[in-house]
Each structure stands twice: as structure tokens, then as C-alpha cells.
Amino acid sequence: MFCSDSITLFEQRITVYETIALVGATGAVGRIVLEQLVQRKFPYKRLKLLASERSVGREVRVGSETITVELLQSGAFKNIDLVIASTPDEVSAEFAPWAVEAGAVVVDESGFWRMDPTVPLIVPEVNPEAVDSHSGIIASPNCSTTQMVVALAPLHKAAKVKRVIVSTYQATSGAGLAGNEELHDSVRTALSGQVHPPSTFQHPIGFNLIPQIGSEKHIGYTSEEMKMVYETRKIMGDDDIQVCPTCVRVPVTVGHSESILVETEKPLSVDEAHDLFQNAEGVTVVDDLESQQYPMPRDCEGRDDVFVGRIRKDLSCNNGIAFWCVSDNLRKGAATNAVQIAELLFERSASSGEKS
């Protein structure tokens, strides 16, 4: 798929990346990636910001320095070790091969590469070993899939997940900055007794729910729903897992929520499931119905974990566990997962003596 020379820069042990690049630096997710790089003290010497023509020349504050955004073009990746990218699919399809040919590894958040059999699809808490199989591009999953597989992973390891029924309640920021702007405009217009004409969504989102995210894809399921089917199987490494998703857009700015029913091959008690969640990396349990304690988007915003609550036995299935799952879709669902993949690359290269 890619030139074999593209990995020669990484066949050595490293202690720091000389130069990394962020593509899509001025977007909502890109801004959080920058925050994460600083807060998590990611090991690099120089950072390059790349974007489309409309953002070129913009100055962006990153920690203690100010960096000027440069044009995303084929020659922009010379001497770049690592690229983290948050762009539309068609942009990634064009630039990622440029970066790989120049010798960089690309951690990509678009949907374009996710189901490519030569590209690993990574959630570090779930399948970190898959990162070693990359050929220059590593994909980060869809936001709704990411939080679900983090929660499913401990159950799958203990009792083998057979079937998942999931309904998502997805924030408007999943459609980018335009999604949140439309929510605000739609709510203001609705409060005045009028209807705001939708442009980002199919219908007005203010005080409304829209049971369609993406286009019709397969026998009545949408593209967002089918992503959850295919990506879950790829990440979990099990094509036999059956997933039945319904994805709904809700009038919340940040934080995707999911109602999940899991059927396992081996029985799990509620206490066992609770302990598995409690001990799982990247999962925080908030589960006390009597005290009205459970995850909610407003409490999870700005936090990197996946939050689980309302853990209970399925009344319709002997080996079923039901639970509620919430995560900040801009962080663990996107920016944080990408930075964690980059950290995983660095850690494995440092421990193995090779830059993965």
C-alpha cells in the first residue's frame, strides 16, 4: 500500500519526537488535541500546525508558545515524525499518503481509513497490541464506538460478548462547531415561537430528538449505526459479535450517552459486572440509583474517562447486563484517544527499541 521507505525513520529507538504535526488544528477537536499535548507533556521538540487555506496565517497559542498555521499541502510533511489529524474523510484520503511517503506515522481521526484491512483501528485500553501492525497510518474510531468498546472490553475478556443492543444519544458537537451553533440558534428561535430552518441536521434540533445520524446505509440502518457494527468487531477482534444500534441526535452540546444491553456467553452477575467496570482502565463507575447518582453529559464534559452507571440485570435474557454509558465525545471520543494512540506508539518504541 505504501512505499517501504516510509518506515525507515522509525527503525530506531527514540526518546523524543523531533517534529510532530497537527492537521486540523483550528477545529473543535484540534484545539483539544493541542491542550492534551501540553497537559500530558507529550514528548516532542517542535510542533507544526497545518490547515486549509482559510486558516493559514492564524496564530494559535500552544502552551507558552504561539505557532502560525501553515498550509496543508504535499510538501508540508518533510522531516515530520508524527502526524495527528482531525479532518473530513476526503481531506485525509488525500494528505495521509503524502505524510507516509515523507516518513511520518499518521494517527487519523477521520472515517476514511478505519475499515481498511491494512490500517489498525485502535482504542489503547482495548487493543493496544494492534498498533504494531501499522504501515504508516493508524485510525481512531468513531466517537460513539470508542466509548462503547472501552466499556465492553472488560466484559468481553471475562465472559465473551455475543450480542449488543445499543441506543445512542449523541451531542450536537459530533457534527462539529456548526452543530453546536445550530443547536443554539434552534433553541433561541424555538423560544420565540418560531422554527429555525435546519442546515447541519435534517430537522430542527432545539427541544427535539432526531433518530438519524448519517445517511441510509444498510437495510434501514444509517452510516453512523453501521460504523458501530463494523468498528466494534474490528477493534474487539471478533467478527461474531452481533451489534444492533440506533443512533439519535439530541439537543446536548457535549457528551454522548448510550443505553447498552450486552448478552455474554458466560453469565455475569451485576456485582461481577460492577467490579469489572470498576477495575477497567479508562472507566469510572457512577452507580447509585437510590442517591440519584449516574453519569450525565454535563458532569462528564471536559473529562477523559468513559463513565458507566445504571448497571443492572437484563430482565429478558439470562446472560444479559444492561448499563448506561456517557463520555465526552470531543475528548475520549476523538482528541484524547488520538493522543493516547500517539503515546502508545512512543511507549512501545521506547520499550522495544523501534519506533513503531
d(Cα 335, Cα 107) in Å, to the nearest integer?
Answer: 11
CA atoms within 13 A on the CB side of 95: 31
Catalytic residue among 143, 247, 300, 325: 143
**143 counts as catalytic:** yes
What are the cell numbers at 240?
461474531
317 flagged as catalytic: no
Beta strand 306-313 with 283-285: parallel, antiparallel or unpaired?
Answer: parallel
Q: Are strands 82-85 and 17-23 parallel, antiparallel or unpaired?
A: parallel
Secondary structure (H, E, C), the chain: CCCHHHHHHHCCCCCCEEEEEEECCCCHHHHHHHHHHHHCCCCEEEEEEEECHHHCCCEEEECCEEEECEECCHHHHCCCCEEEECCCHHHHHHHHHHHHHCCCEEEECCCCCCCCCCCCECCCCCCHHHHHHCCCEEECCCHHHHHHHHHHHHHHHHHCEEEEEEEEEECHHHHCHHHHHHHHHHHHHHHCCCCCCCCCCCCCCCCCCECCCCCEEECCEEHHHHHHHHHHHHHHCCCCCEEEEEEEECCCCCCEEEEEEEEECCCCCHHHHHHHHHCCCCEEECCEHHHCECCCHHHHCCCCCEEEEEEEECCCCCCEEEEEEEECCCHHHHHHHHHHHHHHHHHHHHHHCCCC
Name the phi and psi angles at 62, rounded to 5.
-130, 105
Cα distance between residue 115 and residue 41, in whole Å:
31
Catalytic residue among 134, 156, 196, 256: 256
Q: Which three cell numbers stand for residue 58?
A: 492564524
Chain position carrying cell 437484563 = 314
Q: Catalytic amino acids? A: 143, 256
